[in-house]
Amino acid sequence: MINRVLNDRSYRVWLLLPFFAVGVGCTKDDGVNYCKNHYTFHDQHRDSVASMNIKYSEAGELTGEVFVPLVTFGDAAGEAIDEMLSQSGNVLMLQTASPCAVTVAEVLSTDAGYTAKFSASCGADNKLAQIDVPLFDNVDKLDEVVVVVETSATSKRFGISRQCDAPIFRLDSQ
């Protein structure tokens, strides 16, 4: 076997392989980890990523909009998409201390996709604990949503992907 490897044109690769394996084994580079280093993959699929912008005031007023690219709907008809996005429970759900209903104000369609504008009046004493995005359950081809949440205290931008167990906070390479 050694003679066969040494007589082979690629013997240099075989001789360097142990050094390469040691180098790779000792590095902490997770360059191919889709969720951890998503910023390296994000530009490749921007045209199929939905976006959700949410503003929540101290008075408990929520406003926002969600944009879903047309490419993620496949063969679905425009009327069915309008109907699905018109029902707030298909887009987002709020987990609050007291019940707080989201109202979809309008659904707009363009050549690029669909935008649903929504609002809710939750009350100043009603703590917002979590926002759920059931959009994934209703749009099978949707893989990722970039979310921006703004409150009086903070602003966060992150991605939610079907492929990742946790939110993705590093979406851009810079």
The pLDDT tens digits for 30-87 are 456 667 665 555 455 567 789 999 999 999 999 999 999 998 887 788 889 999 999 9
Comparing CA positions, the residue from 48, 22, 52 lying closest to residue 134 is 52
Can you give the pTM of this predicted structure?
0.73
Q: Report helix, strand or coil for 79.
A: helix
The residue extents of the domains of the chain are 1-29, 38-161
Backbone angles phi, psi at 18, to 5 degrees: -60, -35
